[in-house]
Amino acid sequence: MLPQAPSRPGDIDNSKLLEESSSDGDEPELQRTLREGEDYDLVPQEVWRKLHEWYNGGPELSRKVICSSPISKSYIVDVYPLRLKLFNERDSLEKVIRISRKDKVHELYRLVCSLMSVEQSKIEIWDYYQKIKNKKLINLNETVEEAQLIMDQEIIAEVKPDDACCSDLDTRSNNELALIPLEPSTSSLSIAGGPTFSNGFSPGFGSSFSQDNSYPLLRDTEDGYSSFSNGSKDDIHGLSGLHNLGNTCFMNSAIQSLVHTPPLVEYFLQDYSREINTENPLGLQGELAIAFGELLRKLWSAGRTSVAPRAFKTKLSRFAPQFSGYNQHDSQELLAFLLDGLHEDLNRVKKKPYIEAKDADGRPDEELAEECWNYHKARNDSIIVDKFQGQYKSTLVCPDCDKISVTFDPFMYLSLPLPSTVTRMMNVTIFSGTGDTLPMPYTVKVQKNGVCGDLIKSLSAMCCLQSSETLLLAEVYDHRIYRYWNPSEPLYHIKDEDKLVAYRLPAGSENLLRVEILHRVVDRYTSESMFNLTRKLIGSPLVTCIPNEATRKADIYATASALLAPFVRTKVHTLDESATKLNSNGPSLDGIVLTDNGVTHAEEVSTSNVDEEAADEDLLPFQLWLTDEKANKKDPIDADSNGAPGLTMKLLMDWSDREHEVYDIKYMDELPVVFRPGFMSKKNRQEAVNLFSCLDAFLKDEPLGPDDMWYCPRCKEHKQASKKLDLWRLPEILVVHLKRFSYSRFMKNKLDTFVNFPIHDLDMSRYANHSSRSDQPPIYELYAVINHYGGMGGGHYSAYAKLVEEDSWYHFDDSHVSSVGEEEIRTSSAYLLFYRRVGSSSPFRNATVDTVMVDSLD
């Protein structure tokens, strides 16, 4: 039968990407939670036209390509342009304007004037966020993003009276669109001791940073909030929420966790201007530290007025284009950027010395670790290093030459895998290569970065493999042996949807002739015009080994008979004539003797004296043929000797009604796949682990991944070395990242596993090999948690934070802040944990923005 041609795709349907209802006129509104590559793909206009010509449908959703970084000349598609609500002061009507965040304010004026049918010189546009006049947009050459306009916010247009004087807009040129704007330059930002990446920054310090490097005054109200306008000194501080500016919950949760870190609160509420490093080429000229400090002071002002972090978001987007726009991002990635950026902006080292790393040369770990830490501190010295950074020991061992490499590196946070993310459940069916037992499926747990030898070792232990036996691992595809797996091959090559088998063979079988038996069924059916035969492979191949000289027909049939013995049906009440005649000829072929009670006997007699007539095709309960790789060939088996090309003899067994009456093929026809995600997903949600098991998984000896090979200086090539991490020096603030998101070549998944983490008395003594505070045990208290709710496609972030002096917990969900009990903060949504070491310096005492401001104005 010819395979059916695939059906033609239907019309293009983009309607599923749109909001169900929209009052914005004819222009459709995209859903805000779409993800590229999962919900949609971007194609050039020419490709769209061709697809539309072939398939019709729609609607067409066109988007601009914008320059996200003029210096690096990187471009992105502006999938979600800014959506602004325009209010006309004359008639109070609301209209919607869509504009790219990289468009100039001049273009915004043009669009507004077109909608209102007025000349540009006769209107003024105001930032009308939360329907409060914040500032007039007068700089035509800055971008809409630089003007701090955000998604879905309001703007208002005022028409000047006819006798008004000339506009105060910046009209220094009549051809603004032809001007080339001065874009921010580029700097390189890095984790101290970590990888680097480029970010833009603008020269100077902004209006809030005075020329004499004195501390910036908190006098801006551009976010619709004044630090001096709410509450009294008796009010509780630190309970201000953050407005969601459009999918910015990831940013809000990270900010709330940091601004409730006691050492940072104490630091930024004091005068830190002397530590701002304006010369660090890896920093942001102090702008990030200043923006964060101003935001922290606003959040710690008395009262509970929510703050809109528009200025901070604008600077963040300029410095890190990956966080621009209004898509959802990872809160942990943002936290890493903030800590790195704050460190470089506040680095006390103005000129970093060049230090050449020295080899261990057999020196004690204590000496080498202290040397590496001193080298690190000579180049990196900030409040972030003081409070957040620790040190771990990394040991690499070459799998071939046993070369050992020991290094000591700093860390800012611990990214702990959940136990289910570092291991892998694999299903494998074990077949007997001697015909002793039926196939048996096994499920084993192995390291994801392991090799096939690890899988074979686990299977051997589970099936009680004898020392005189070995396992041959293979993949079955389309009822054939697709490939045999070498023990040194990495497990990541095996996909979840593959079907694995392992053949239990005598040790030393690699020196024998391998025999594979494939199974083919012959179906007969009659159509209206002719009688038809169809042949297709069924079941799973059987594999065994025989001596190279035992290739006579009798030897081959005896071997096949032994392999098929476990599959004989247990209820055979009558014997067909051929089987009876076969058994009456004397000894069996090392195989099957059928009795009237259905019992199977394997009689151990030599096949060398078997009468060749007993192997006549008409007398055997099955028929074998020599075949090729694809089972297309069908050659008879010679009575004397049968050569095999290479090291494998492939046989084909045809299954007719006779074979089905004798043997039950169902035992070799139902192979499980390596892993079925749907089956394990419920288990991942239900099983609970504790934080210590995550730490153990993080510190466990394991082979490096395929993309992280180590260059062995002794072997002179990259090796998949084994790696062991140990915590050497623990920081005052310990940030723990629970790696809930797992990625593979074929799927993305979030683990909802409940992690039981301690709130009080987290004892890290058994994990810390060394501590700079050896007089006190490393005991930690939890003070903040970042939660992630939902799945991979978007979800929502919030934070729990503890007011240390009040000894009370609060839930910070964007602008909503509410009290919460301590027993409620331990949930399966916990994503980032913030611990503070017990015995650290006392938290800030009665430090408020008001008192610090008085001191800073001297």
Query: Phi, psi (5° rounding) for residue 283?
Result: -95, -170
Q: How many helices (H) and strands (E) does the chain have?
A: 18, 40
Query: Catalytic residue at 760?
Result: no
Residues 416, 699: Cα–Cα separation, whole Å? 9
Element of type H or E holding 550: none
Going by C-beta distance under 8 Å and a sequence separation of 6 or more, which residues neighbour residue 179?
A: 141, 173
Residues 496, 474: Cα–Cα separation, whole Å? 14
486 Cα distance to chain centroid: 28
150 Cα distance to chain centroid: 29
> Of 67, 113, 715, 796, which one is the catalytic site residue?
796
Residues 292, 288: Cα–Cα separation, whole Å? 6
Q: Are 779 and 838 in contact (CB under 8 A)?
A: yes
Q: Are 91 and 51 in contact (CB under 8 A)?
A: no
259 Cα distance to chain centroid: 27
847 Cα distance to chain centroid: 41
From the CB of residue 429, how many other CB atoms can be counted at a distance below 10 Å?
20
Residues 568, 388: Cα–Cα separation, whole Å? 68
DSSP symbols for 129-192: GGGS--EE---TTSBTTTTT--TT-EEEEEEPPTT--S--S--S-S-GGGS-----EEEEEE-T
**Residue at token pair 């025999």:** 515
From the CB of residue 491, how many other CB atoms can be counted at a distance below 10 Å?
21
> Of 106, 243, 249, 788, which one is the catalytic site residue?
249
3-state SS, one letter per residue, for 175-193: CHHHCCCCCCEEEEEECCC
Residues 475, 480: Cα–Cα separation, whole Å? 8
Cα maximum dimension of the chain: 124
Query: 595: burial class by Cβ within 10 Å (0-12, 13-18, 19+)?
Result: exposed
As given in the structure block, the two tokens for residue 731 are 């920081």
Q: Are 632 and 639 in contact (CB under 8 A)?
A: no
Q: Any bridge partners for residue 125, and if so which?
A: 157
Residues 656, 758: Cα–Cα separation, whole Å? 65
Dihedral angle at the C-alpha atoms of 813, 819, 822, 824, nearest 10 degrees?
A: -50
Query: Catalytic residue at 811?
Result: no
Catalytic residues, by residue number, are: 249, 796
